[in-house]
Amino acid sequence: MGRSIYFFGAGQADGDAQQKDLLGGKGAGLAEMTRLGIPVPPGFTVTTEVCNAYYASGKALPAGVEDEIKAAIGRLESLRGAGFGSPEAPLLVSVRSGARASMPGMMDTILNLGLNDEIARGLARRTGSERFALDAYRRFILAYADIVLGVPRDRFEEALGRARRQAAAKLGVDATRLNSAELERKVPDSQLDPESLAALIQRQKDIVLGATGRPFPDDPYAQLWGAIGAVFDSWKNHRAQVYRKMHDIPEAWGTACTVQAMVFGNLGDDSGTGVAFTRDPSTGERRFYGEWLPNAQGEDVVAGVRTPHPLSRPGEGGGADDESSLEARMPAAYAALVEVQGKLEQHFRDVQDLEFTIQQNELFLLQCRTAKRTGRAAVRIAVEMAKEGLISQREAILRVDPGSIDQLLHPSIDPSAPKSLLARGLPASPGAATGQVVFSADEAERRAGQGRAVILVRSETSPEDIHGMKAARGILTARGGMTSHAAVVARGMGKSCVAGCSAISVSQGRMAVTIYDDHGRATGSITVKDGDLITLDGGTGTVYLGAVPTIPAALSGEFEELMAWADAVRRLRVRSNADTPHDARTARNFGAEGIGLCRTEHMFFDEERIQAVREMILADGELGRRRALAKLLPFQRSDFVGVFREMAGLPVTIRLLDPPLHEFLPQDEAQLQQLSRATGVSAEDLQRKSEELAEYNPMLGHRGCRLAITSPEIYEMQARAILEAACEVAAAGIEVEPEIMIPLSMTRRELALTRALVEGVAEKVFAEKGRRVDVRFGTMIELPRAALRAGELAEEAEFFSFGTNDLTQTSLGISRDDAGRFLGAYVEAGIFAKDPFQSLDVPGVGELVEIGRDRGRAARPGLKLGVCGEHGGDPSSIAFFERAGLDYVSCSPFRVPIARLAAAQAALAAEAARGPRATD
Ligand code: ADP
Ligand code: MG
Ligand code: MG
């Protein structure tokens, strides 16, 4: 173990900003600010190594550390001209927690440590305010009892109430009928007089004695050892553990502990405390931004009992808050703060989040850290800082979390609006949406047709619900995960979706919602009926009751600029999955460089077509099938014409029919009767046929190119529709680049047969139309055997598209639709770091991708390689696809900008891994 203690004060510091691992973010920031000559109360940081040693030795400080701490306190005393434990010139300290990564509010901090009765009297004499000294003392006892001695705060509530009533009597306020909240408003902490405070302190000590069997510790060093131990202990408290799990922070990091001389923002009207941001963290605007409270201690700002004031005067025009701003009330301290914030931002080259306190007009900084920000702000800040020359364009690209730009592409909840939380589910597809609840797709369509905004609520959705999903503003499901049908389709549509919301249950036109408290205990339930208003926040997975105001999406100029910079550095091409001309246009507007997956069956669900599809499936022989297919041909052709036009000059990969046929069959008696009338086949016969088609395991059943092996006429019709459409569009002078893709192949022979079939159709169509178009033939790689035999497949295929959804299902042998029941436990137990359907299983499925790549390219140099599937829009998976040297990824239209940015970051990371660049 290296040194245990890092001192900072009077312009010098043992540590610096690089030492977050050892000093925590807080300790490192305080050291760095001190070095920069910024006014920081002196102090020292006990390292995270000491914390880990403390745990290793059964919660004891390692030998020698106590003496080092005493020596550091000695240095503090001489810097401050005060004594720890001295009633004449008391030195009070704060004992603060702080880990490598910021964990706001998760661990404990104790202020005003070093007080007992005698020292409190000394502090009163020294500051000239008995009220201040006693208030500091009673706050210290409260915090220390709670954090160190384990006597919870609420045990002191009654004593505080008595003190307030005592003070009320003196103020002439009648407090007899007031409840505790009203009492606090009438007699705030600042109105507690010395006499009531003294009585309160005595009662607090009695409570501690009663609860612990020991008197409250009077010796400042005893207090200090207790507080340091408690700060270390807080690393393993329940809320910190939960937070670490959520944010992937390893337990082994430990927390540092900073002991720092107190400064007082509550010494009168020339004192105060606040927080500041060097730029606006929600919009990114370059303006100094923050809040402060006069005559208050740091914890008061967080507590939210008093309403803080703005730091700066409002710009042009002024406003009601003008006079309460720090700028107006303490111009000199404000000017000092403005100078410090500028210096810090220049130094750290990023937006800083600051804590400050002003003691009798003198400014002190107590914390600085990189500010958290919204996606909107992140983009604006990165671009503006690059233009200001503070960072390079490359750094700007790396500064923005690709996931966060989702917020820019969708409307979002107005953060300042009042809202009433109903339930939480999975953040399946971002965006905010308000509407009336409806429980069926047909009803959603009907009411949307009347101009109403609706939210479709279902237990789970199926392909049958597409029209309702299209009509709805948002989708809420009780079951299903991040890759459930609802989630995938909603993301594709760019629509808000909260999935897997287990607090709701849907039945018979009602939604019952179980209400939980903060500890996850069910406390009651609410029924939401058809037509009631709810609001979804698909970015956080939150459901609110009623309408919550939203802010519209806005693609700013900065966003376009950042994207242009990203496009200039990325190597991976980004295509989109799009099934309709409308989706294709959206994708192109977001910068898609082609379509990587056009699913032909999506087009089958339209009302006019589904009938023909069903006829085709249930027909008794080839002839019947061909008759039904002939009805579908014009629909398919016109869809492809639309898609090719939208994608003029860009490649369009069209996948031939993939899903098992039973997905298209009638779902209920009414549909069966309708089909019977249309085909003249009895309902009983249709029912029997449909039962014959049922499969035990459709995912591994009669689907993909297996359909074409048994019924080639299906693919024949589809190939004809594609090629006729391509000829038609080419005839209009528009460049087309069709790519026909075969799903689920595993052998060369399957590809050879389907290829011969497609080529046969192509020759016929070209002869009929009197023109040829270039068409590429390729396959999806979504079975392990296909990846292994990629060498053979590449002899038939000109491109591969890794269908990573199915490749994950088939490699892991885990059905995506059934994984919800246990995958959570797998992630919890650390078996998978993340859900492998969201973030590619690089060691396993990734190796299959690499094998497919190597064997495929060995057989056919220049073989084009892409990815379609949810992973194509996932930043960490994209990083792998970049390393693997694939040519493109394809993702849903609204993920295209995310993929472009992620691909640029992956390219920069790959470049950095190859070694330093010659120039930059
Ligand atoms: P957190 O990590 O929860 O923000 P902090 O350690 O930053 O906890 O402290 C809580 C509050 O107490 C902050 O507002 C901080 O500025 C204030 N504070 C901490 N140390 C001191 C000190 N030495 N003097 C004055 N205020 C302090
Ligand atoms: Mg803080
Ligand atoms: Mg598939």
Q: Has residue 108 been placed in a domain?
A: yes
Q: Is the shortest distance between the CB of 778 and ligand 1 below 6 Å?
A: no
- Residues 812 and 807: their CA atoms lie apart, in Å, by 8
Task: Single out the residue in 500, 517, 551 at which a domain terminates.
Answer: 551
Contact 715, 753 (CB under 8 A): no
Q: Is the shortest distance between the CB of 105 and ligand 1 below 6 Å?
A: yes
Rg for the chain, CA atoms, rounded: 33
- Residues 350 and 29: their CA atoms lie apart, in Å, by 13
| Nearest alpha-carbon partner for 184 in 216, 160, 156 | 160
Q: Is the shortest distance between the CB of 266 and ligand 1 below 6 Å?
A: no
Length of the chain equals 920
Atom of ligand 1 nearest to the CA of 265: 25
CA separation, residue 875 to residues 369, 404, 895 (Å): 25, 11, 10
Q: Clarify whether 868 is annotated catalytic.
A: yes
Q: Which residue among 51, 309, 368, 485 is the active-site one? A: 485
Q: Has residue 817 been placed in a domain?
A: yes
The model's pLDDT over 97-127, given as tens digits with 9 standing for 90+, comes to: 999 988 877 788 999 999 999 999 999 999 9
Q: Has residue 380 been placed in a domain?
A: no
Residue 194 has pLDDT above 50, yes or no: yes
Q: Has residue 561 been placed in a domain?
A: no
The model's pLDDT over 880-903, given as tens digits with 9 standing for 90+, comes to: 999 999 999 999 998 999 999 999
Task: Single out the residue in 745, 777, 809 at which a domain terminates.
Answer: 777
Residue 233 has pLDDT above 90, yes or no: yes
| Residue closest by Cα to atom 24 of ligand 1 | 262
Q: Is the shortest distance between the CB of 111 and ligand 1 below 6 Å?
A: yes
Specify the residue for token string 């409270």. Answer: 293
* Cα 144 to ligand 1 centroid, rounded to whole Å: 15
pLDDT winner (highest mean) among 176-190, 210-224, 422-436: 210-224
Q: Please tell me whether residues 110 and 145 are part of one structural domain.
A: no
Q: Please tell me whether residues 522 and 632 are part of one structural domain.
A: no
The reported pLDDT for the residue numbered 241 is 84
The reported pLDDT for the residue numbered 300 is 72
Question: Residue 495 belongs to a domain with what CATH number?
Answer: 3.50.30.10
Residue 318 has pLDDT above 50, yes or no: no
Q: Which residue among 368, 727, 868, 891 is the active-site one? A: 868
- Residues 603 and 425: their CA atoms lie apart, in Å, by 30
Q: Please tell me whether residues 24 and 110 are part of one structural domain.
A: yes
Q: What stretch of H or E contains 573? A: strand 573-577
| Residue closest by Cα to atom 6 of ligand 1 | 96
The reported pLDDT for the residue numbered 753 is 97
The model's pLDDT over 364-405, given as tens digits with 9 standing for 90+, comes to: 999 999 998 878 899 999 999 999 999 999 999 999 999 888
Residue 427 has pLDDT above 90, yes or no: no
- Residues 721 and 713: their CA atoms lie apart, in Å, by 12
Say how many domains are in the chain: 6
The reported pLDDT for the residue numbered 315 is 64
Across 749-776, average pLDDT: 97
Q: Has residue 406 been placed in a domain?
A: no
Residue 430 has pLDDT above 80, yes or no: yes
- Residues 295 and 129: their CA atoms lie apart, in Å, by 13
| Nearest alpha-carbon partner for 227 in 274, 200, 271, 262 | 262
Q: Please tell me whether residues 544 and 692 are part of one structural domain.
A: no
Residue 321 has pLDDT above 70, yes or no: no
Kindly write down the DSSP assignment for every residue of 352-384, as one continuous string. EEEEEEEETTEEEEEEEEEPP--HHHHHHHHHH
Q: Has residue 917 been placed in a domain?
A: no
Specify the residue for token string 């409260």. Answer: 142
The reported pLDDT for the residue numbered 916 is 63
Residue 519 has pLDDT above 70, yes or no: no
* Cα 367 to ligand 2 centroid, rounded to whole Å: 6
Question: Which pLDDT band, with edges at 50, 70 and 90, does 317 fall under?
Answer: very low
Contact 679, 615 (CB under 8 A): yes
The reported pLDDT for the residue numbered 132 is 95
Q: Please tell me whether residues 609 and 540 are part of one structural domain.
A: no
Q: Clarify whether 467 is annotated catalytic.
A: no
Q: Please tell me whether residues 763 and 870 are part of one structural domain.
A: no
The reported pLDDT for the residue numbered 919 is 46
Contact 65, 52 (CB under 8 A): no
Tokens of 136: 């500091």
Question: Which pLDDT band, with edges at 50, 70 and 90, does 633 fall under?
Answer: very high
Q: Please tell me whether residues 516 and 578 are part of one structural domain.
A: no
Q: Do the strands 595-599 and 651-655 form a parallel or antiparallel pair, or are they unpaired?
A: parallel
The reported pLDDT for the residue numbered 920 is 44
Q: Please tell me whether residues 657 and 757 are part of one structural domain.
A: yes
Q: Is the shortest distance between the CB of 367 and ligand 1 below 6 Å?
A: yes
The reported pLDDT for the residue numbered 487 is 85
Q: Is the shortest distance between the CB of 96 and ligand 1 below 6 Å?
A: yes
Atom of ligand 1 nearest to the CA of 264: 25
- Biggest alpha carbon distance in the chain? 105
| Nearest alpha-carbon partner for 410 in 386, 397, 427, 385 | 427
- Residues 399 and 404: their CA atoms lie apart, in Å, by 11
Query: Residue 800 burial (CB < 10 Å; 0-12/13-18/19+)?
Result: buried
Q: Is the shortest distance between the CB of 42 and ligand 1 below 6 Å?
A: no
With pLDDT > 90 as the criterion, what percentage of the chain qualifies?
Answer: 69
Higher pLDDT, 761 or 669: 761
The model's pLDDT over 257-266, given as tens digits with 9 standing for 90+, comes to: 999 999 999 9
The reported pLDDT for the residue numbered 816 is 86
The reported pLDDT for the residue numbered 886 is 98
Least confident of 56-65, 429-438, 682-691: 682-691
DSSP 418: -
Strand partners, 99: 255
* Cα 218 to ligand 2 centroid, rounded to whole Å: 27
The model's pLDDT over 5-50, given as tens digits with 9 standing for 90+, comes to: 999 999 999 999 999 999 999 999 999 999 999 999 999 999 999 9
Residue 301 has pLDDT above 90, yes or no: no
Question: Residue 678 belongs to a domain with what CATH number?
Answer: 3.20.20.60
Q: Please tell me whether residues 2 and 130 are part of one structural domain.
A: no
Contact 422, 442 (CB under 8 A): no
Q: Please tell me whether residues 184 and 248 are part of one structural domain.
A: no
The model's pLDDT over 574-617, given as tens digits with 9 standing for 90+, comes to: 999 999 998 999 999 999 999 999 999 877 887 788 889 998 98
The model's pLDDT over 39-94, given as tens digits with 9 standing for 90+, comes to: 999 999 999 999 999 999 999 999 999 999 999 999 999 999 999 999 999 999 99
* Cα 299 to ligand 1 centroid, rounded to whole Å: 7
Q: Please tell me whether residues 732 and 849 are part of one structural domain.
A: no
Average confidence score pLDDT of the chain: 92
Strand partners, 352: 370
Question: Residue 197 belongs to a domain with what CATH number?
Answer: 1.20.80.30
* Cα 230 to ligand 2 centroid, rounded to whole Å: 17
Across 758-772, average pLDDT: 97
Domain that holds residue 849: 782-886
The reported pLDDT for the residue numbered 670 is 85
Question: Residue 294 belongs to a domain with what CATH number?
Answer: 3.30.470.20
Q: Do the strands 109-113 and 289-294 form a parallel or antiparallel pair, or are they unpaired?
A: unpaired
Q: Please tell me whether residues 430 and 330 are part of one structural domain.
A: no
The reported pLDDT for the residue numbered 302 is 57
Q: Has residue 89 been placed in a domain?
A: yes
Q: Has residue 557 been placed in a domain?
A: no
Contact 868, 890 (CB under 8 A): yes
Reduce the DSSP state of residue 277 to 3 states and report it.
Answer: strand
Looking at beta carbons, which pairs linking 344-351 to residues 24 or more positions away fall under 8 Å?
Answer: 344/33, 344/36, 344/38, 344/278, 344/368, 345/278, 345/279, 345/390, 346/390, 347/32, 347/36, 348/17, 349/385, 349/390, 349/391, 350/381, 350/385, 350/391, 350/399, 351/277, 351/278, 351/279, 351/281, 351/381
The reported pLDDT for the residue numbered 518 is 67
